[in-house]
Structure 1
Amino acid sequence: MKLFECEGKKLFEKYDIAIANGWLWNEVSADAVYPLIAKSQVLTGGRGKAGAIVKVNDRSQLEQTVTTLLNKEVRGHKVSHVYLEEKIDYEKELYLAIIIDRNRKAPVLIASNKGGIDIENVPDQDLLTIPVNPLIGIQPFMMRKVAAFLKLESDKISAIISKIWNVFNGEKAELVEINPLFMKSNGELIAGDAKVILDSHEKRVSFPDFLPRASGGFEERCSKLGAVGVELDGDIVVITSGAGLGMATFDLVCSKNKTVRALVDLGGHVIHDIEAAEKLIEEVKKLNPKGIFFNFYFQVASCKVMATAIASKLGGGPFPVVVRMRGIEEAESATMLSQYSNIYSTQDLQTACEIITKELGGKTGVHHH
């Protein structure tokens, strides 16, 4: 379960991690010190690029700014809450996170002095990654390593690392990320953002006051079209026929050091109905992926339905599309797709993987779930 930033910050407060003074839009204190930063609360990244984080210079601008933001969408997510925070004057932006590494099945501590940008875009030499034994937790030598890597005094960074670990452990999280972690000129560290994903299987006792979730996210819109969609944070959308094939394809894409933006299992209705297939592709395009990989095998349906939808909605588009299809009318479908320079069609999975490695954008690196 992803938390909104303001929920993550509430958790941070509980664990004594410093944050700026902040309020939900309908609770802004009369004593608030302007300028404030108005931040749209959505369960996806890319807020800055979408113009969903705005400076409010004085109280007179407050209402207008909030109204504008509440009418926005970020990557297909409707903004239903706005959080306002006092502006922090900082000297440096750092990055600190603990994330479950799916391959190692264990937590990893990640630190970088390149905070404030998408971690997927940070070059590997600027990232420090330390695997953590979940039974022993974070050790002093790890903190010293991070302090040396970030060129900071050990005690300040150690304190915040222990606190992040306490959030991660105490709240049964899959990800606790502070990006940016602001460092003020006096060396004080303040969490500029809070990205927290909690394990959905855990029974929640400690944190009852979650904000209402906006309906109509990507998952919900897919299910209306008869498909199953799961949104992640990477670059490439994987669309398959059948959940087993989906997971296998997902692992394959990750093994090529690519990250997945969403996973879609087509389901019966979509593969027989061109209009539904086109609508589904429209939903996928709202996620702004860097590429799409279709991997389907139809026993009964014709490949032509999907191929027609792919051609009409993605042909000649700005990003590469790899289509690996087997089934009825696969040859005609491949011919139809071959006229578009951004669509690569093949029957062979190995070839598809090679094309993905070569053509599909996105940095390799740690996968955010």
Structure 2
Amino acid sequence: MKVHEYQAKEFFAHYGLPVDSPILCRTVDECVDAYHRLGSGRVVVKAQVHTGGRGKAGGVKLAASEEEVRKVASDILGMTIKGYVVDRVLVTEAVNIDKEYYVSILIDRKSKSPLMMLSRAGGMDIEQVAKETPEKIEKIVIDPLIGMADFQARAAAYKLFDDKAVVKQAIPLFKNLYRLFMEKDASLAEINPLVLTKEGQLKAIDAKMTFDNNALYRHPDVAELNEPTEDEKKELYAKSKGFSYVNLGGNIGCMVNGAGLAMATMDMIKLYGGNPANFLDIGGSSNPEKIVDAMNLLMSDQHVKVILINIFGGITRCDDVAKGLLEAFKSIKTDMPIVIRLTGTNAEEGRRLLQNSHFIVATTMADAGHKAVEAMNNL
């Protein structure tokens, strides 16, 4: 689960991290009022969306007068950044930046421990730094049974800073960031950039946090900040109906019983030149209501043009599945091509029941894959 920068900064401030005093605004007039309240002369107006790259997209701008604030806020509010419409901005005091650094703590699946990452090359191009010059990024594995010891925090600080006075500021900063990360069950706590001002002070002028969804029940203060995207809403809907769904952005919708078979079905579609729209495991039920729910979920995706239903009948009998599909499609109206493959217990009986229906019946998995891709290419 992601939170906005202003929300992450509230957590940072609560844990003693040096952040500014930003003001959240939703209108141009609120931005102008925030500018006067801050009284700093220069401010930064920052788009608040659940994605990175805001600066490069024009979503972070400086302003030094009421007129500039009004113009900048008008430009940013309502703009679209990577598919997200900006409906709120943060107005904060500009600082005199001397140097920029990168600091984050995340889960390292290799060591099964928290991992601190640091770089002297912080800022907007940190992804490029990681790709082209990975040696500029330092990594420190933290033993979760011990936590961030003083010697580790000191060693981390010396990897970034040469001045002992700055190192003394960084040690409690790193320890508090780790404490926040652990106590809130975060999966990422990132400061980019962590800046050293010309006055010699460290300040986190940006903040990013993501949290473990499985631990939200322990943190109602975090859970209440959740703003699911449209895709996440679909995943939550699928979960409430008893099946697993992940949107992949393709055009051939998949309805499969069993996670392994669902993965193989997506691979098969790619092998034959198609693009799977989703992962959808409906489990072992042939309940018509469940099939209706799954079909409605697939058809709610405007990119889906063809649907492939791939069912292996083990405990679930294929003739029961066929009857369930026929019953379900009495209430579903669609001209979309639907390819179905049934195999396993009573497969022949199931296929016989589906003959002379609007389903495109396949005999094997490969046959189903070819027919689904062919139907897509013929549209």
Q: 1:299 to 1:72 in 2, by over 3 A?
A: same
What is the Cα deviation at residue 14 of structure 1?
A: 1.1
Q: 1:198 to 1:333 in 2, by over 3 A?
A: closer
Contact 1:56/1:65 (CA < 8 Å) preserved in 2?
yes
SS in 1 for 2:302: helix
In proportion to residue count, which structure has more helix?
Answer: 2
Match of 2:90 in 1: 83
Residue number among 55, 61, 67 corresponding to 1:54 in the alignment? 61
**Cα separation, 2, equivalents of 1:53 and 1:270:** 42
**Cα separation, 2, equivalents of 1:219 and 1:280:** 16
**Cα separation, 2, equivalents of 1:241 and 1:64:** 49
1:158 paired with 2:171, answer: yes
Residue number among 102, 107, 111 corresponding to 2:109 in the alignment? 102
**Cα separation, 2, equivalents of 1:82 and 1:179:** 18
Identity %: 23
Question: Deviations for 1:251-284, whole angstroms, at most 9, x for unmatched residues?
Answer: x9xxxxxxxxxx94246789989x94983379xx
Match of 1:356 in 2: none
Task: Give the TM-score taking structure 1 as reference length.
Answer: 0.63
Match of 1:220 in 2: 233
SS in 1 for 2:115: strand
Contact 1:96/1:111 (CA < 8 Å) preserved in 2?
yes
Match of 1:174 in 2: 187
**Cα separation, 2, equivalents of 1:230 and 1:271:** 13
Contact 2:119/2:160 (CA < 8 Å) preserved in 1?
yes
Contact 2:42/2:65 (CA < 8 Å) preserved in 1?
yes
**Cα separation, 2, equivalents of 1:32 and 1:50:** 27
Contact 1:2/1:197 (CA < 8 Å) preserved in 2?
yes
**Cα separation, 2, equivalents of 1:52 and 1:64:** 13
What is the Cα deviation at residue 168 of structure 1?
A: 1.0
**Cα separation, 2, equivalents of 1:66 and 1:220:** 29
1:279 paired with 2:302, answer: yes
Q: 1:109 to 1:272 in 2, by over 3 A?
A: same
What is the Cα deviation at residue 245 of structure 1?
A: 4.2
**Cα separation, 1, equivalents of 2:153 and 2:280:** 45
Match of 2:139 in 1: 129
Match of 1:18 in 2: 18
Q: 1:244 to 1:117 in 2, by over 3 A?
A: farther
SS in 1 for 2:8: helix
**Cα separation, 1, equivalents of 2:309 and 2:135:** 41
**Cα separation, 2, equivalents of 1:94 and 1:247:** 43
SS in 2 for 1:117: coil
> Which amino acid counterpart does residue 303 of structure 2 have in structure 1?
L
Q: 1:223 to 1:19 in 2, by over 3 A?
A: closer
> Which amino acid counterpart does residue 166 of structure 1 have in structure 2?
R
**Cα separation, 1, equivalents of 2:261 and 2:50:** 23
> Which amino acid counterpart does residue 190 of structure 2 have in structure 1?
E
Q: Larger relative contact order (C-alpha < 8 A, sep ≥ 6)?
A: 1
**Cα separation, 2, equivalents of 1:178 and 1:38:** 18
Contact 1:7/1:210 (CA < 8 Å) preserved in 2?
no
Matches within 5 A, 1:181-196: 181-196=194-209
Asked which structure has the greater CA Rg, the reply is 2
**Cα separation, 2, equivalents of 1:240 and 1:103:** 32
What is the Cα deviation at residue 85 of structure 1?
A: 1.1
**Cα separation, 1, equivalents of 2:188 and 2:216:** 14
Match of 2:272 in 1: none
Match of 2:322 in 1: none
SS in 2 for 1:11: helix
Contact 1:172/1:198 (CA < 8 Å) preserved in 2?
yes
